[in-house]
Amino acid sequence: MLSEVLRNNLNLTGTKEGCNTGDCGACSVLLDGALVCACLVLAVEAQDRSIETIEGVAKDGKLHPIQQKLLEHAGLQCGICTPGIVIASRALLEKNPDPTESEVRYWLAGNLCRCTGYDKIIRAVMDAGATMRGE
Amino acid sequence: MQSVQYAAPTTLAQATQALQGASDAKILAGGTDLLVQMKLGIREPGLIVDIKRIPELTAFTLGEHGLHLGAALTSAILHDDAQVRARYPGFMEALGLIGSSQVQGRCSAGGNLCNASPAADSVPALIVNRAVCNILGPAGERSVAVEAFTTGPGKNCLGSGEILVSIDLPLPAPRSSDAYLRFIPRTEMDIAVAGAAVALTLDAAGVCTAARVAIGAVAPTALLVPAAAEALIGTALDDTALANAAAAASAAASPITDKRGTAEYRKKVVGVLVRRAALIAKARIEADS
């Protein structure tokens, strides 16, 4: 699986392994720009494709607004779901820069968090959207 | 997982050849069913034929003849097309209900059909849109109405070496629209307890001149229910007509009782869904005209 190759062969351990059946979103990555679970992609399918992982989200030591807002809103506790949340919400905000709360909640329905109860995550993503829109 | 061979043909001819050469081959599109089934030990193919590098399998066109959909085109790509969403709102809302955003990045209408779950959300919506499945195999090409494609839970009409290549949805007539509703006890990320799709055409006076009704998760396959459509045609979708359509859908349902609901409950709720989906399709036509 792509998730195993990322973690075990390439040492890119930011992509987490949760359910391993495509239900929890902890292994979210972009494959040719499409949001997918890396646990449901054969590594061989990714040959010659572009893969974006959490390791590429912060640039030059500067956190992405979504990462910054997750910290400010205390949108994480154990942190296992966080890389997947960041990848998924960044994909949403690039497609839809001004989503409603309902749209954020539906978009992130495939990213399970067992710590926060989601409210702080949703607030952080909404706030990051506002920051990215320059508000 | 057992050792598995992998082939990624770039033409349909190569793909059919690869499938014919192996008795235990499985076609891989988005993998959101197949790879999970392999992890659970439900399927152990000796050869996986990844069809996503065949250009026509992941392409789509929307033109005067309707929507031509490569069988492995992902829901996410199709959903980004505003014209497709406007033409087939019910089909697109059904397709968009499958799994999570991550699953949408991989799953396809063709895969949803081939996996043949009785609860597959996109299938009733394809049926009411008169979709046709284009199949290529060792004996050549053939086309099958979508309501005849699935033959039972997990079973479809594909023969040995055959591939579902594309799906055609005719362009809806003027003053037509569709809608899909499912019942789940949650708000997202669940499998239908019951589902219903309705496509309608109304004349300028609001009288229904054509209708298709299909129901899901209440029989071994999604069902076209002509009696429910007949209850709507010739009416202005008044309460009596809607109640008759609901009753026809409930009568056509032959659900099982399982952890998602009892047979009795599913028969009742599928009628309610037909009535509500018909009203949504009607409202969409009125909003467009």
Q: Where do the domains of chain A lie, and which CATH numbers do they carry?
A: 2-56 (3.10.20.30), 65-132 (1.10.150.120)
Measured CA to CA in angstroms, residue A114 lies from A40, A126, B19 at distances of 21, 20, 43
Give A-chain residues touching B187 at CB under 8 angstroms: 109
Interface of B with A in 36-75 (CB under 8 A): 36, 39-40, 48, 50, 52, 74
Tell me if B36 and A21 make a contact (CB, 8 A cut-off): yes
Question: Which pair of structure tokens corresponds to residue B160?
Answer: 């040995």
Q: What is the pLDDT of residues A61-87, one digit of tens each?
A: 999 999 999 999 999 999 999 999 999
**Rounded-to-integer distance, Cα A43 and Cα A29, Å:** 13
**Rounded-to-integer distance, Cα A35 and Cα A90, Å:** 10
Backbone angles phi, psi at A70, to 5 degrees: -65, -40
Backbone angles phi, psi at B132, to 5 degrees: -125, 135
Chain-centre distance for alpha carbon B120? 6
Task: Quote the ipTM score.
Answer: 0.97
Give B-chain residues touching A91 at CB under 8 angstroms: 101
Tell me if B50 and A108 make a contact (CB, 8 A cut-off): no
Interface of B with A in 209-248 (CB under 8 A): none
| Residue B2: per-residue pLDDT | 61
Residue B155 C-beta-side C-alpha neighbours within 13 Å: 6
User: Domain residues of chain B, as ranges?
Assistant: 5-50, 55-169, 176-288
Residue B19 C-beta-side C-alpha neighbours within 13 Å: 23
- The DSSP bridge pattern shows strands B140-145 and B132-137 to be antiparallel
Query: A57 near A115, Cβ under 8 Å?
Result: no
Confidence tier at A60 by pLDDT (50, 70, 90): very high
DSSP 8-state code for residue B171: P
pLDDT tens sequence for chain B (289 residues):
568 999 999 999 999 999 998 889 999 999 999 999 999 999 999 999 999 999 999 999 999 999 999 999 999 999 999 999 999 999 999 999 999 999 999 999 999 999 999 999 999 999 999 999 999 999 999 999 999 999 999 999 999 999 999 999 999 999 999 999 999 998 888 999 999 999 999 999 999 999 999 999 999 999 999 999 999 999 999 999 999 999 999 999 999 999 999 999 999 999 999 999 999 999 999 999 8
Tell me, yes or no, if A51 comes closer than 8 A to chain B by beta carbon.
no
> Taking the domain B55-169, which CATH number applies?
3.30.465.10
Question: Which pair of structure tokens corresponds to residue B172?
Answer: 């809806």
Residue A127, pLDDT > 90, answer yes
Tell me if B103 and A108 make a contact (CB, 8 A cut-off): no
Dihedral of the CA atoms A48, A49, A55, A61 (nearest 10)?
A: 90
CATH for the B5-50 domain, from 3.40.30.10, 3.30.43.10, 3.30.70.1170, 1.20.120.1770: 3.30.43.10
Same fold, B5-50 and B55-169: no
Tell me if B31 and A92 make a contact (CB, 8 A cut-off): no
**Per the CATH hierarchy, to which homologous superfamily does domain B176-288 belong?**
CO dehydrogenase flavoprotein, C-terminal domain (3.30.390.50)
Query: B208 near B177, Cβ under 8 Å?
Result: no
